[in-house]
């Protein structure tokens, strides 16, 4: 399983209660397991941005990132979402 960086852990701690930090990090770590999954930290941080603190949004955003990470980058950084 891929891991998450210290920057991602810090962002998770800012957005989620302490009892959810490990679970959110584990969900985010699913992105980056495959060789074609690029820009891991950037995508994980953008997933957090798009989730807006909603725990239930994380798994779906990770699935979308695994399908095409560029969607996550576009939505988070260029579309004003």
Q: Buried b / exposed e across 4-18, counting CB within 10 Å, b at 16+?
A: beeebbebbeebbee
Kindly list the domain boundaries of the chain, sorted by start residue. Answer: 6-77
- Point out the residues of the chain with pLDDT beneath 70: 1-2, 80-81
Closest CA relative to residue 47, chosen from 18, 17, 77, 23: 77
pLDDT computed for residue 35 by the predictor: 86
Q: What is the pLDDT of residue 80?
A: 60
What's this model's pTM, rounded to 2 decimal places? Answer: 0.92
- Whole-angstrom distance, CA of residue 66 vs CA of residue 55: 18
């Amino acid at each position: 399983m891929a891991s998450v960086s210290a920057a991602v852990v810090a962002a998770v701690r800012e957005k989620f209660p302490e009892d959810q930090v490990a679970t959110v990090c584990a969900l985010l770590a699913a992105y980056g397991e495959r060789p074609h999954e690029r820009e891991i930290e950037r995508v994980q941080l953008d997933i957090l941005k798009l989730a807006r603190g909603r725990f239930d949004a994380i798994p779906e955003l990770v699935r979308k990132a695994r399908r095409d990470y560029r969607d996550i980058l576009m939505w988070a950084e260029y579309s004003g979402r």
